[in-house]
């Protein structure tokens, strides 16, 4: 298999890296991450103008990329800048709409790609841990508010909804039949932020940006809000989240590269006994091991990107294998880079501390390493004849 990027992808990567280095320095990023919105609407529009959002979708849906390697290239560059704009949920929600949305719903993809609409995935719940099929939010059949036809009434709570305060609508998973942990019976709905019964409580995240808790209190929706078929939302949700996990893994590789570069620079310049500490053999060995780990993580991301459009079991195993590797290696990179910096590695003013924090938090987003190791084994058992 040829893993060389196409000329278009290389140009995309160069453009994005240059834009981030020139317009998204650490001071700018830190100010944005601490802001009331949690991201910059002006920079989000600039990213859209550059075609970065469009690279996450294929031509049939208004983009010009959409492959696994397009996702990995974009998010690796975003990871290098610790970008906090809502790329991840735009990808996840957009891919779900592209896969199962109605023609009317797919018209919204143009607004996602041009950056004019912010959307958010509202799937995780306070007690769901990382189990994809555990959904307790309920959707019941009922009569529409105007008395015409059949509609739906949603009740439940969603946790850690990224950029939930700024989203104009949510993609909500709800159970329409079956047990709380059954894959069958999950249905996806497009819920407007301003719908009656929707309440949002925002908060700042530890690694920058903002998230929210979303409460649904007898939210009345028409059939037009249904994404795909009733009771059959799990497959769409699983695929869309696989795209999201790949994106997170690629973002982590970008963050690891920067943390590594910062550490190498520090080892070359920090002196002890009148010589750079990078000349000490013990530190050279630790750094060499770290470089090997980062390349292993990069290989796992390449494997997941190549499998994204393949058969379900192969795709999901590759994605879980990558997330497991990223979780384990990301924590090691964060710890080693901080230790090699000494006490200065923990200071808030040093960008490295923020990269380390982001690497640790990526492990806990969309399933940690323990969850994905168990999932990898379980999927392997399903593949057995």
Q: Please write the tens of the pLDDT for every residue from 32-53.
A: 999 999 999 999 999 999 999 9
The verdict on residue 69 lying in a domain is yes
Same domain, 255 and 378: yes
201 and 263 share a domain?
Answer: no
Domain identity same for 14 and 57: yes
Same-domain status, 255 and 284: yes
Q: How confident is the model at residue 279 (pLDDT cuts 50, 70, 90)?
A: confident
Give the Cα separation of 252 and 250 in Å (integer): 5
Between helices 68-81 and 87-100, what is the axis angle to 10°?
160
* Phi, psi (rounded to 5 degrees) for 79: -65, -30
Q: Is the pLDDT of residue 56 over 70?
A: yes
In this prediction, residue 207 has a pLDDT band, given cuts at 50, 70 and 90, of confident
Residues 364 and 292 in one domain: yes
Note the pLDDT of residue 148.
53
> Which pLDDT score, from 0 to 100, does residue 73 have?
95
Residue 1 is predicted with a pLDDT of: 54
* Measured distance CA(316)–CA(304) in Å, rounded: 8
DSSP-assigned letter for residue 56: G
> Is 22 part of a structural domain of the chain?
yes
DSSP state of 192: E
pLDDT of 74-104, one tens digit each? 999 999 999 999 999 999 999 999 999 999 9
Residue 190 sits at φ, ψ, to 5 deg, of: -95, 115
Looking at the fold, whether 24 and 84 belong to one and the same domain comes out as yes
Read off the pLDDT of residues 319-378 as tens digits, 9 standing for 90 and up: 999 999 999 999 999 999 999 988 787 787 889 999 999 999 999 999 999 999 999 999
Q: Looking at 187, 202, 229, which one is the last position of a domain?
A: 229
Pair (327, 241) in one structural domain: yes
User: Is beta strand 226-227 parallel, antiparallel or unpaired with respect to 138-143?
Assistant: unpaired
Among positive and negative, which fits the CA dihedral 335, 361, 47, 237? positive
CATH number for the domain spanning 338: value is 1.20.140.10
Length of the chain in terms of residues written: 385
Q: Is 61 in contact with 106 (CB distance < 8 Å)?
A: yes
The CATH number assigned to the domain holding 188 equals: 2.40.110.10
Which of 198, 229, 260 lies at the terminal end of a domain, its last residue? 229
- The pLDDT assigned to 2 comes to 57
Task: Answer yes or no: is 31 within a domain.
Answer: yes
Using alpha carbons only, what angle is made at residue 362 by residues 252 and 125, rounded to the nearest 5 degrees?
150
Q: Does the pLDDT value for residue 298 go beyond 60?
A: yes
The pTM is what? Answer: 0.94
The CATH number assigned to the domain holding 106 equals 1.10.540.10
Q: Which residues, 6 or more positions from 284, have their beta carbon under 8 angstroms from its beta carbon?
A: 278
The alpha-helical segments, DSSP class H, found in the chain are: 7-23, 26-33, 41-49, 68-81, 87-100, 103-106, 109-113, 234-269, 281-307, 312-341, 351-364, 369-383
- Above pLDDT 90, what percent of the chain? 83
CA dihedral (101, 107, 109, 115) positive or negative: negative
Can you give the residue range of the structural domain that contains 332? 235-383
CA angle 167, 170, 176 (to 5 degrees): 165
Domain co-membership, 358 together with 305: yes
Q: Residues with Cβ < 8 Å from 292, sequence gap 6 or more?
A: none
Query: In degrees rounded to 5, what are phi and psi of residue 125?
Result: -125, 160
Q: Could you give phi then psi for residue 290, rounded to 5 degrees?
A: -65, -40
Q: What DSSP character marks residue 376?
A: H
Residues 294 and 316 in one domain: yes
Residues 109 and 175 in one domain: no
DSSP 3-state of 64: coil
d(CA 254, CA 22): 17
pLDDT tier at 275, thresholds 50, 70, 90: confident
Please determine, for residue 143, whether its predicted confidence score (pLDDT) is greater than 90: no
- Do 212 and 340 sit in the same domain of this protein? no
Residue 276 lies in a domain: yes
Task: Evaluate whether residue 357 is within a structural domain.
Answer: yes
**Encoding tokens for residue 283?**
């530190």
The candidate with the shortest Cα–Cα distance to 247, out of 77, 38, 20, is 77
Q: Which of 83, 117, 151 is the last residue of a domain?
A: 117
- Cβ neighbors of 366 (< 8 A, separation 6 or more) are 130, 241, 244, 245, 248, 323
Residues 6+ apart with CB under 8 A from 96: 171, 188, 227, 236, 237, 239, 240
Rounded mean pLDDT of the chain? 93
Q: Which two tokens stand for residue 275?
A: 């010589």
Give the pair of three-digit tokens for residue 274: 């009148």
pLDDT at position 273: 85
- State whether 200 and 250 are in the same domain: no
Whether 354 contacts 207, CB under 8 Å: yes
Please give the Cα distance from 76 to 149 (Å, whole number): 47
**Domain assignment of residue 1, yes or no:** no
Spatial separation of the C-alpha atoms in residues 261 and 150, rounded to whole Å? 58
Domain tally for the chain?
3
Of 128-132, 314-318, 324-328, minimum mean pLDDT range:
128-132
Residue scoring higher pLDDT (154 or 277): 154
């Amino acid at each position: 298999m040829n893993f060389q990027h196409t000329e278009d992808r290389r140009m995309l990567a160069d453009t994005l890296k240059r834009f981030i280095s020139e317009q998204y320095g650490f001071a700018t990023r830190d100010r944005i991450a601490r802001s009331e919105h949690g991201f910059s609407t002006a920079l989000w529009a600039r990213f859209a103008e550059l075609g970065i959002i469009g690279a996450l979708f294929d031509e049939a849906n208004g983009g010009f990329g959409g492959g696994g390697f397009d996702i990995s290239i974009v998010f690796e560059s975003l990871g290098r800048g610790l970008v906090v704009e809502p790329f991840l949920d735009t990808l996840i929600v957009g891919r779900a709409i592209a896969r199962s949305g109605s023609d009317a719903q797919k018209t919204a993809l143009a607004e996602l790609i041009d950056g004019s609409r912010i959307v958010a995935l509202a799937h995780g719940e306070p007690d769901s841990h990382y189990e994809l099929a555990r959904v307790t939010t309920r959707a019941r059949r009922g009569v529409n508010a105007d008395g015409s036809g059949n509609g739906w009434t949603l009740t439940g709570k969603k946790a850690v909804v990224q950029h939930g305060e700024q989203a104009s609508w949510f993609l909500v998973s709800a159970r329409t039949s079956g047990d709380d942990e059954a894959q069958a019976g999950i249905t996806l709905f497009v819920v407007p932020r301003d719908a009656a019964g929707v309440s949002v409580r925002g908060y700042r995240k530890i690694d920058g940006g903002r998230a929210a808790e979303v409460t649904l209190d007898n939210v009345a929706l028409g059939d037009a809000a249904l994404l795909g078929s009733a009771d059959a939302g799990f497959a769409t949700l699983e695929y869309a989240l696989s795209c999201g996990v790949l994106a997170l893994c690629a973002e982590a590789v970008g963050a690891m590269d920067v943390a590594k570069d910062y550490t190498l620079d520090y080892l070359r310049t920090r002196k002890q006994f009148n010589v750079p500490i990078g000349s000490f053999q013990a530190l050279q060995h630790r750094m060499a091991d770290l470089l090997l780990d980062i390349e292993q993580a990069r290989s796992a991301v390449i494997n997941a990107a190549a499998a994204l459009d393949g058969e379900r079991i192969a795709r999901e195993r590759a994605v879980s294998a990558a997330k497991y590797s990223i979780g384990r290696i990301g924590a090691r990179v964060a710890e080693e880079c901080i230790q090699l910096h000494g006490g200065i590695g923990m200071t808030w003013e040093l960008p490295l501390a923020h990269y380390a924090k982001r690497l640790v938090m990526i492990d806990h987003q969309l399933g940690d390493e323990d969850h994905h190791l168990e999932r990898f084994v379980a999927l392997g058992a399903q593949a057995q004849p």
